Structure 1
Amino acid sequence: MFHSRFFNRSIKKYRVLVLLIGVFLALNVLLLIFSFFATRYFTNHALIIDASTRQGVLVQQMSKNLMDTDLYLREAMAASATADGRVALNTLPQEMLYRIGEIKQYRNQFEQALEALQQGGEIKLPNETAAHIDKQLSQDPDVRKHVEKLNVYWTPYLGLLDNYLQDIGAGYINAKTSNYLVEYTRLYNQSLLTETEHLTQILHGQIADETAVWERVQLAGIVLAFALFGLIVFGALRRLAESDELLEIANREMGEIMSSVREGLFLVNKDFEIGHEYSARLEEILGQKDIGGKNFLDVIAGIVPESELETTRIFVEQLYSDWVVEDLIEDLNPLHRITFIPENESTPKYLDFKFFRVTNNGVIERILVNVVDSTETVMLQSSLEAQKEQEKRELEMLNTILNTDGMVLENFIRVSKERLEEINTALKSPETGQMELKTKVNYIGRGIHSIKGEASALHLSRMVDICETVEDTLAMLRRQSSLSGQDFLGMVVLLEDLYRLVDILDNYSERLNRSQNKEILNAKQTAHSANTPASVQFAHAQALHLQRFVSDIAERSGKKVTLSVQGFDQEHGVTGKQWQAVQDIAMQILRNAVIHGIESPEVRQERKKPETGRLKLSISEDKDKQHLMLVAEDDGNGIDFEAIRAKAVQSGQYSAEQAAQLNKNQLLMMMLGDGFSTLDEATEDAGKGVGMGIIKETVHGMGGKMNIATAQHQYTRFSIKFPKAKQ
């Protein structure tokens, strides 16, 4: 509908030009047709002139061949004359026979051409062309006059030639016939040539006259065509001038718009070529000059990851597809928010690309691209998010301080600082051997895992997240075949974050302890009388802390678990350092018991067990009074030796045949190794393969011994015996 209205409006506006163009085209067509037929006519006339000229050539050729044949015939007769004056053809050389054959050929060609000139017809020429003579030309008085004269000389000549050729056909040459023919040739050869020349001149004159007429007609047509062309050009230029004026106004207005908008606007065609008209802001946003005419994918190649270029190409191609809904595909826009660092700058830049179809009569012609520099918005949003994160972290720490026993919190801060310092020292150590570097990985992993476990128990989620990032990095290092000191550099920044969080926690704790609410906090931190020894108070606080720790893990795992603690309210002469070791061991064993040992409520019901799993943790003095016993037991699944065996095969440590030969003690030693876990996917509470290594190393550091007892679907018990601290 729109197209029809536009066409009708254009026709009315340019109807005079359209009419002139139509006349101009018609005139050119007529001139082309005229030239075509004129060319054919003059080409044929030229062939007729060639045929007329060739008549003289044929007379000359026949005369020459007859003279040569007669001369040879005279010599032959002088040598061996016959009684009747005949010479047999078989006595003549081949060359003479060839010349006699040419005489016959020339005679036929001359006769055929002369007949065509008299009555009209076709004259065949040697180059496989033919001259067509119509009756009008053959009836022309001047042409007819000279053709009749030619016929007067040719008719007797033809009779003599036929007699001559008749003898040839009989196998001999008659001297008398040959003499008559040669004599006639000498007498009238020039007359025949003269008449053919006159005929040729007449034909030349005719074509010259006709050419002049044709040229005048053609010149008139060309002049008229140029006149029409001039009118068309004048009219077109006038219309173009008017259109240019309107276009200039439109371009000026568009330029003002494009220079004023704060966004990058440009068009992209199906070949991904950027249009030459785009907003002034675009070059500043993309950091490139003279973008018009360039390939869109080449322009964004420096700011978009290579993996996204192919996705972008497919996305734009889909926008040109009629069956794709524009609003729906916008959700798949790969350039919705891209980040890059401009050259010679250190801060990132954020850009948002939006794509819109440009249609004409329902046909998608181009894609309009809108680019927005969202850096300020993103930075503001990031600042707000960072502020919220900071506030959340502060609230988290305040909540931890308010809901955690003071001694437990102080111990966590102190121990975390010590461990971070040990990890920092390990990072600075200059080991270069592969075994030393692997040992460093495991050492750092055990320290970070211990911090993560205690932070998780205190609900310090930000600290847990950082620890998990470090553990993921260490897991990648374990899988590397070769390590170097450079591989550990990335952990320095994460370690600084942990230092900062511990310092913030320490600062808040000190400020609260100095506040007017110190008495309230102290009342919450102790459940015993003032006469209770500090070590017993600390042990009791640790017991409560472990119970909350187990409860949190059980809730995250979807299990029901209770922990009973015995012996923590008695003074066993355990030093602060030993209490920390006991806590490290207890936390790892209890975490593994909840994750790996205690079954889900559904499984426990199937096995005729209570839904709530039971954990027991006790510390007591050994019979020899020189050692202490730490016992942790659960009533869960027991150690799954087959899962350990399967993991040994999966990790490539053993083949299936070798793993099948491993006994339970060997499987337990594997379970206690660094980096070993039967879980396929790591979580906050398990799957890193570090916890059991912490238990083994801590027991070894205490000078203790560990015994593991287990029964399938019944229980697992860890019994750890370690010497008392010397007083």
Structure 2
Amino acid sequence: MAKQLELKNSTFSRYRGLIQSIVLFLVLVIAVLTFNIYTIFLVERNSTQVAAAQQLRGLTQTISRDLYDLKLSQSEDIRSPHIQYTLSQLTLNKDRFNKIVSAFDQGGVIEDSLGAQVSINALEDNQKVSLEQIKLQWHSLNTKLDGYLKVANDINTPALILDQVVDSTQGSSVSIYNHTNSILNELSQASLQQATYLRYLQITAISLAVIYFVVFMFYFVRRLTTSDAEANEARRETTEILDTVKTGLFLLDNDLNIGQQYSKELEQIIGHRDIGGKNFSEILTTMISVDDMDTTQGFIKQLYNPKVKERLIADLNPLARIETTVDDLSGYQRTRFLDFKFSRVYSGKDIIRVLVNVSDITDTVKLEQRLLQEREHNDLQIDMLTTILNTDAALITDFISAVHKHTDTINEILKGSGTSQSELQQKLQKIFREAHNLKGISSSLGLYAFANASNAFEDKVTSLQKEPSLSGDDFLPLAVSLDELIKLTQIIDQLNKRISSSQADGTVQVNVPENINKTTAPLFAFTQNLQQFAQDLAKRQFKQVKLTTQSLEDATPKTSLDEAIRDIAIQVLRNAVVHGIESPSIRLTRQKNQTGHVQIKLHVDSNQVQLTIEDDGQGINYDAIKAKAISSGLYSEKEMESWENRKLLGLLFTPGFSTYNQADDDAGRGVGLDVVKDRVQKLGGKIGIHSQPGQFTRFSFTFPL
């Protein structure tokens, strides 16, 4: 039965062109006949109008004749049959004249010369010029006729009335007759033209039919003789298409076995060679989870169920826009976004295969993500500017100065020499450290647009750090992102200058307590921003935190030590909230206040400055440090058996090391304490760490003056 259906379909396909040509010919014949009928209709309509115009011309003469007859019969008795008949004919002809004129003007029904009712259309606009003249002449004559006919049966009616009507008729009938002839000529010309069109159409249709028949015979006889050669050519072209198409195409049977023919691009897209005859499940095992695999198998089974409508389950496709890691056939694993589309293949009404089309939509998805990021970035710029308006201008000035220093440093690093992989990786690490500093100080001020831009910059650096092989050209995207940071800084600088100008004019006042010295006002504003920074961090981490500061305002403003204290406070405060402070539920189980407490103290004497940052969180988890070092491949378990806690603490300051499971905007990149170590070393300071598991962690930093 299936073979008979296939043979039937093959035969239909073979003669499909012949059938389509015959249908096209019939459509052409029907179209010509339809136009022919329409043209005949127009000719008949014009013939009716011509007859009406002729009748109108005759009525002009008849009315004039009846009036002259009445004038010659004035000596007769007005009740004589002759006069009464003439009056009735005059009335009837006048009414007919009115109806014809009205029908020519707006269309209507009139009586033809035989008394039959016929419908005529209104004249065309170019034909109504003569009609208007007729109406003008007839209006005057018709008025006098109506006046005469009202008194015509009165024996005392003066003869002068009839004389006036006759005189009017003499003046109007000639004009009406001539204009009626003009209408008659125009209608006759239109009828002649339409008849000519009809004749040309018939000649053209016959000619086309002959030409079409000749072409039809020549083409299809030749087509039938070469059908076998074309079939072979079609098979060859199919193979070429499968070899050149840029998407993955293959067929699946009911057991999920892949057909022997598939597009060459498929191997590159899914990262597998020689997949003909393999089971689709084997290929998907390396690409999706077990649960998704079960869902996919169930979805494909439903495609073979004829009771299920294909379009109704299209939205349930589990392999639409999936993110997966595939082998690019050159030994490297690449993250790609793939889109699988499934379509049924029918033989008659039977579903015999499922056609799968796989597309690599990585570039499209990345473009969508980029557009979304740019839109979010623009929205955040507005929030950033709003934040600047509510932040101390002097603090913003210090921020701009710090950003310039960091961006200049990044720029110098980018321009620096380096060709070996180790040198290039060191450049990335230095750039990462500076970018992390930028993110920290911008986050502390609530400049989240700038912080997000810095975070995006960090992401690009991280992506480069994962590359197995680097070159100088790989750093070009960083230069572009650095330019975006510089542009954002310029926007902040311009707005801050306007604010500063307003403050100088006395229009804006900074809310600083009277007991705070003006020289330390920026540091006071910084402590206020630290409070907000701590609350924002806690909110993002679903925690509750209270921050207290002591003597931060005692630092000497606008010094490198002052900047270091700010940077260190930001980085360690972030670590305390993210890593140290527990969630409210966990703190309650440990009989702690559900609000965590972080203290920042600054002590300044004649010889040194000491910064202490302490939290009452869970303390440092040395086991987690060791496990992370082993899982990341830094050290083996055997190498770390004898490590003391003090040595484990050193790992926290290693670039890229973090116990945080997943990197986000607040933690997980392993740069925060690396930045702290860098700032302390540059100032010749020392770091002290003391921690009690489940109780607290204290960082102390000592700097010489």
Counterpart-to-counterpart distance in 1, 2:433 and 2:479: 17
Structure 2 residue aligned with 1:696: 677
The residue that corresponds to 1:644 in the other structure is 625
Q: Which residue of 1 is the match for residue 552 of structure 2? A: 568
| Residue aligning to 1:716 | 697
Which residue of structure 2 lines up, in the alignment, with residue 332 of structure 1? 317
Distance 1:251 1:707, change over 3 A: farther
* Distance apart, 1:368 and its partner CA: 11
1:509 to 496, 502, 506: 496
SS in structure 2 at match of 1:710: strand
TM-fit CA distance, 1:499: 2.0
Alignment of 1:673-688 (within 5 A): 673-688=654-669
Q: What SS is found at the alignment partner of 1:660?
A: coil
Deviates more, 1:486-495 or 1:550-559: 486-495
Partner of 2:635: 654
Residue matched to 1:670: 651
The verdict on how the C-alpha distance between 1:388 and 1:252 changes in structure 2, with shifts beyond 3 A counting, is farther
SS in 1 for 2:313: helix
5+ residue gaps, structure 2, are: 9-14, 29-233, 249-264, 281-295, 324-338
Q: Which amino acid aligns with 1:636?
A: G
- CA change 1:362–1:481 in 2 (3 A) is closer
Equivalent AA in structure 2 for residue 545 of structure 1: N
**What fraction of aligned residue pairs are identical, expressed as a percent?**
33
Amino acid at match of 1:626: N
Alpha-carbon deviation of 1:497?
A: 2.2
SS, match of residue 552 in structure 2:
coil
Quick check: 2:442–2:450 contact (8 Å CA) kept in 1?
Answer: yes
1:578 aligns with 2:540: no
Equivalent residue number for residue 603 of structure 2? 620
Aligned partner of 1:437 in structure 2 is 424
Find out whether 1:405 has 2:389 as its counterpart: no
Deviations 1:221-247 (CA, angstroms, capped at 9, x unpaired): xxxxxxxxxxxxxxxxxxxxx998762
Cα distance change, pair 506–418 in 1 and its aligned pair in 2 (3 A): same
Residue in 2 aligned with 1:127?
none
Q: TM-score, normalised by structure 1?
A: 0.51
Instruction: From the superposition, tell whether residues 387 and 629 of structure 1 become closer, same or farther in structure 2 (CA, over 3 Å).
Output: closer
Quickly say closer, same or farther: Cα 1:378–1:657, change in 2 above 3 A.
Answer: closer
Cα distance in 1 for residues equivalent to 2:561 and 2:426: 24
CA distance in 2, matches of 1:508, 1:253: 76
Which residue number in structure 1 is paired with residue 285 of structure 2? Answer: none
For residues 390 and 555 of structure 1, the distance between their equivalents in structure 2, rounded to whole angstroms, comes to 21
Distance 1:498 1:518, change over 3 A: farther
- 1:527 has 2:512 as partner: yes
Does structure 2 conserve the Cα–Cα contact (< 8 Å) formed by 1:451 and 1:467? yes
**Residue 558 (structure 1) aligns with:** 542
1:289-338 superposed Cα distances (whole Å, 9 cap, x missing partner): 99985676545327988426999x97999897345641213553978899
RMSD over aligned CA atoms reads 4.8
2:21 pairs with one of 224, 239, 248: 248
Aligned partner of residue 700 in structure 2, secondary structure: strand
Contact 1:627 1:723 in 2 (8 A): yes
| Cα distance per residue 1:172-226 (max 9 Å; x no partner) | xxxxxxxxxxxxxxxxxxxxxxxxxxxxxxxxxxxxxxxxxxxxxxxxxxxxxxx
Q: Which whole-Å CA distance do the structure 1 matches of 2:371 and 2:303 have between them?
A: 39
Q: Which amino acid aligns with 2:389?
A: L
Residue 610 of structure 1: how far off its partner (Å): 0.9
Find the aligned partners of 1:301 and 1:447 in 2 and give their Cα distance: 42
Asked whether the equivalents of residues 396 and 459 of structure 1 are also in contact (C-alpha less than 8 Å), the reply is no
Question: Could you tell me which residue of structure 1 aligns to residue 165 of structure 2?
Answer: none
1:492-536: CA deviation from partner (whole Å, max 9, x where unpaired): 22222222222233334345555699856x42x43234x954431
Secondary structure of 1:633's aligned partner: strand
State whether structure 2 residue 245 is matched by structure 1 residue 300. Answer: yes
- 8 Å contact kept, 1:450–1:584: yes
Measured after TM superposition, the shift of residue 656 of structure 1 is 1.7
Partner amino acid, structure 2, of 1:658: E
Q: Which moved more, 1:292-301 or 1:545-554?
A: 292-301
* TM superposition shift of 1:697: 1.0
Shift of 1:480: 6.0
On the 8 A contact 1:297/1:309 being kept in 2, the answer is: no
Cα distance in structure 2, aligned partners of 1:461 and 1:493: 20
Partner secondary structure for residue 383 of structure 2: helix
Q: Tell me the secondary structure at the aligned position of residue 628 of structure 1.
A: strand
**Corresponding residue of 1:498:** 485
Distance 2:422 2:322 in 1: 44
Report the Cα offset of residue 661 of structure 1.
0.8
Q: How many residues align?
A: 435
Question: More deviation in 710-719 or 480-489?
Answer: 480-489
| Cα pair 1:614 1:635 within 8 Å, conserved | yes
Cα distance in 2, alignment partners of residues 509 and 365 from structure 1: 70
* TM-score normalized with structure 2 length: 0.52
Contact 1:671 1:677 in 2 (8 A): yes
Structure 1 residues not aligned, in runs of 5+: 1-5, 11-241, 256-288, 339-351
The alpha-carbon deviation at position 381 of structure 1 amounts to 9.7
Contact 1:336 1:354 in 2 (8 A): no
Q: Could you tell me which amino acid in structure 2 is paired with residue 548 of structure 1?
A: Q
Paired position in structure 2 for 1:449:
436
Partners of 1:243 and 1:657 lie apart in 2 by: 77
SS in 2 for 1:248: helix
How far the C-alpha of 1:437 sits from its partner, in A, is 3.3
CA, structure 1 residues 297+396, in 2 after alignment: closer, same or farther (shift >3 Å)? farther
Q: Greater shift after overlay, 505-514 or 356-365?
A: 356-365
Alignment partners' CA distance in 1, 2:370 and 2:462: 32
The residue matched to 1:703 in structure 2 has which SS?
A: coil
Contact 1:628 1:722 in 2 (8 A): yes
What is the correspondence of 1:21-32 to structure 2 with a 5 Å cutoff? none
Which of 335, 358, 380 matches 1:393?
A: 380
Is the 8 Å Cα contact of residues 536 and 568 (structure 1) preserved in structure 2?
no
Distance 2:623 2:340 in 1: 54
Conserved? CA contact 1:708–1:717, under 8 Å: yes
CA apart distance, 1:386: 8.4
Task: List per-residue Cα deviations over 1:426-452 (Å, max 9, x = no partner).
Answer: 011002355543432221111111111
Letter in 1 for 2:20: L
Return closer, same or farther for 1:417/1:575 CA change in 2, 3 Å cut-off.
closer
Distance in 2 between residues matched to 1:247 and 1:386, nearest whole Å: 53
Which amino acid in 2 is paired with 1:301? K
**2:580·2:619 contact (CA, 8 Å) conserved in 1?**
yes
Structure 1's 642 and 293: CA in aligned 2 closer, same or farther, altered over 3 A? closer
Q: Secondary structure at the match of 2:654?
A: coil
Say if 2:392 and 2:522, in contact at 8 Å, map to a contact too: no
Cα offsets for 1:650-692 (capped at 9, x unmatched): 2333222321211122112222121111122112111111111
Corresponding residue to 2:455 among 447, 452, 468: 468
User: What is the distance in 2 between the residues matched to 1:515 and 1:253?
Assistant: 84
Matching of residues 10-409 of structure 1 within 5 Å: 247-248=20-21, 250=23, 293=238, 297-298=242-243, 300-301=245-246, 306-307=268-269, 321-322=304-305, 325-326=309-310, 327-332=312-317, 362-364=349-351, 388-389=375-376, 391-409=378-396
Amino acid across the alignment from 1:710: S
Q: CA deviation at 1:413?
A: 2.2
CA contact (8 A) 2:446 2:533 kept: no
Using the TM superposition, give the Cα deviation of residue 608 of structure 1 relative to its aligned residue in structure 2, in angstroms. Answer: 1.6
Are the structure 2 counterparts of residues 415 and 507 from structure 1 closer, same or farther at C-alpha, using a change threshold of 3 Å?
same
Relative distance call for 1:629 and 1:677 in structure 2 (3 A) is same
How far 1:363 moved relative to its partner?
A: 3.4
